Amino acid sequence: MTQIKTEPQTIDIGIGGMTCASCVARVEKALNKVPGVTSATVNLATESARIAVADPELTDARLRRVIRDAGYEPRSMEAAEAADNNSSPWAGFAPVAWGLLLSAPLVLPMLGDLWGQHWMLPAWVQFALATPVQFILGARFYKAGWHALKALTGNMDLLVSLGTTAGWLLSVWLWLTSSGHHAPHLYFEGSAVVITLVLLGKWLEARAKRQTTEAIRALHALRPDKAHWIGEDGEVDVPVDEILTGDLIVVRPGERFPLDGDLVEGQTQVDESMLTGEPLPVSKAAGAQLTGGSINGDGRVLMRVTAVGHETVLSRIIRLVEDAQAAKAPIQRLVDKVAEIFVPVVLLVALLTLAAWLFMGASFETALIHAVAVLVIACPCALGLATPVAIMAGTGVAARHGILIKDAQALETAHRVQTVAFDKTGTLTVGQPRLTQHVAAPGQDGTTTLRWAASVQSGSEHPLARAVTAAAKDQGLTVPEASEVSAVPGRGVQAMVEGRTLLLGSLRWLQQEGMDTALWADEVQALQAQGATLSALAERTPEGVQGLLLMAFGDEPKAGAAEALTALRARGLKLVMISGDNQAAAEAMARRLGLRPEDGEVLADVLPGDKAAQVQKLREGGRIVAMVGDGVNDAPALAAADVGLAMGNGTDVAMHAAGITLMRGDVALVGAALDISARTVAKIRQNLFWAFAYNVAGIPLAALGYLNPVIAGGAMALSSVSVMSNALLLKRWKPRD
């Protein structure tokens, strides 16, 4: 019996209640223990888990139960997204407001001490104000901390609940054991303010996080809900989800195209900036491809749907961005390992702090306050947010400018690239042959002979034939009708035009037919040295085959390609063009692009199957290599490189093999992709530095008695917010002009 091997299934689940990197580690550990789970990645910034499941019988409900047993709230991704989309800027602020309202009377009298005034509230008033904050507003910390204890792990909530409870209990003890003649100093304000500040920090985090997910929400908003469907009864508005492949739909001026399709009737200008980042509208006529989400200009058009649902370009883009934001960068894995042991170490340090102060003769009150300060300031919130928020902001802003980063590893690696290898055709060049030069035979008129050539080729779909007809059209020539057209496979075509028997094809075939190519000897030699493909037009006469027109075909460099390569070289990068063309042709195009064949920047005569091997050679010596390509034959090379960049005008195969897709097919975006990688990694390093520095500096200061719990709580909240704010600076990034 043959066993069918099933591909791993990916399940996304939202998770509520996570507060720090330790929470992430705990949920991941719980999910990875489930039989049938191949991998589980949890993202604190998106509050979600991406689980790869090999067992088809493992249900979504089972995984949700595991998350709940770990002490967290499983949520549907749709519900989480809807909550983010519909929430106002002040959503979730109510607990913070209550905390501020109840804590303010506890803190304000302390200001009187600055002027020698003692305005301390009676103990029972302090108790009445602090207790609701401690046990009602702070209930979330107790609940999550209890789940952590049951799992024999620790998290931020456990540290906060232990620290603030210790301060509250100490205050109650001092109040109850004090004599009536002496009012002791109580610490109700410390526990209340710490909880309030942590709640404020979490609210600011949530508000900032909504900004990091704007890219995804903006992409979802591009999809219209309705489409004008052409049915048996004429034009009817139906939900987009009911549209099938092959249906005809009308798109009115100013509307977004609801799905992908081909333009059947009408012409218009289309704004595709949401896909490509290119602000200029693109002209579309019958037969042109239309992409869902782009904006129709001033023409009413009829389109035939070619892709629906998850098959549309927009859906694939959304998936790519979501995958990138859910992915975990290699550097984050190290952070997670540190965070896993961080909380137990902090608990030990707090106990040692308590013991050390008691040993040195301090009162239990003083020793406990210092231990509480250690617990509060050591919360690893910023540590868990440092990497994911930067990745979310970086991939989001890149997507807005036409750079789709598929995975976090490509994002982290791209800035270290030392060598960039380019495919030639379709990547550095337009990828469509053009008539670059035509030379009429002596005594012949170039315009007339070009008209005849276009006539002979008018019915052919061959790329060179299209180049001839396009050249005639560009010159505004009237092309006569050809008759008795007959193709000679692999050689050319023969036809009657205006009473003349004309032959158009390769020089070798025409030579065999009796044409003398000596009349173009110099031109043929020069053009072949440039790597041009040559064809000729000739007339069959009673005297023999007479040459009329020599035509040279060649690809053209993409607009701005040479400037983009110069900019990359200025960054200190080694550039290489890999081509299947002969050496002369490849070098000729390379020089037009500003490359230097003499410096080894051209690899010619490379078979499609050998491109990956060439990339591997470039990687020798530990060099980091990026490969840029567009075709099916580039996919192995893209996968073999450290970073693969696929042109968005290329094939789906190439886009799947690459870690980064350049939607506009613009070579300048290669430099932009490397730049956003460098900026994002810099933000990650800055965030991790400050997160680690905060804890490394804060814990000793708290242990030595230089920080009280209130200041520690404020610093902890500030650290998380500062990490989020620093990452959001990436939203200002724009590709260099």
- Strand pairing report for 282-284 and 73-75: unpaired
From 353, 174, 70, 188, select the one nearest 710 (Cα to Cα).
188
In the numeric block, the tokens 């719990």 are attached to 709
Q: Cβ(111)–Cβ(35) under 8 Å?
A: no
Distance CA 719, CA 427 (A): 45
Q: What would the 3-class secondary structure string for 203-226 be?
A: HHHHHHHHHHCHHHHHHHCCCCCE
237 is catalytic: no
Distance CA 620, CA 568 (A): 21
Cα–Cα distance list, 667 to 122, 423, 540, 607 (Å): 72, 11, 46, 23
Q: And the tokens for 145? A: 């901390």
Distance CA 264, CA 306 (A): 12
Distance CA 263, CA 397 (A): 31
Distance CA 136, CA 454 (A): 84
Cα–Cα distance list, 381 to 13, 205, 691 (Å): 21, 10, 8
Distance CA 61, CA 658 (A): 34
- Strand pairing report for 301-307 and 268-271: unpaired
**Identified catalytic residue from 260, 423, 630, 634:** 423
Bridge partners (DSSP) listed for residue 251 = 301
Residue 263, number of CB atoms within 10 A of its CB: 22
Q: Is 578 exposed, middle or buried (0-12, 13-18, 19+ CB in 10 A)?
A: buried
Q: Cβ(42)–Cβ(336) under 8 Å?
A: no
Handedness of CA 604, 610, 613, 619 (dihedral sign): positive
In the numeric block, the tokens 């999550």 are attached to 144
Enumerate the active-site residues.
423
